[in-house]
Amino acid sequence: MSREVIIRLIEEERDEEIARLRKKAEEESAGIREKGRLRADQKAEQIRRETEREIEAMRRAILLQAEFEAMAAERKARWDGIEEVFSIAEEELSEIVSSSAYPGILRHLILEGREMISDGALTILCRAEDREAAEEAAEGISNVTVTPLSGHDPMIRIGGVILLARDGAIRCDQTFPTRLLNMRNKLTQTVSGVLYGGGDTGY
CA end-to-end distance (rounded Å), the chain: 115
Q: Is the pLDDT of residue 70 over 90?
A: no
- Report which of residues 198 and 111 the model is more confident about: 111
Contacts of 170 (CB under 8 A, 6+ apart): 117, 118, 164
Q: How confident is the model over 105-136, as pLDDT tens digits?
A: 999 999 999 998 877 889 999 999 999 999 99
Its pTM stands at 0.56
- Domains, the chain, ordered by start: 97-184 (3.30.2320.30)
DSSP one-letter string for 186-198: HHHHHHHHHHHSS
Q: What is the pLDDT of residue 175?
A: 93
To which H or E segment does residue 21 belong? helix 3-96
Q: Is the pLDDT of residue 169 over 50?
A: yes
Q: Is the pLDDT of residue 196 over 80?
A: no
**Contact 175/124 with Cβ under 8 angstroms?**
no
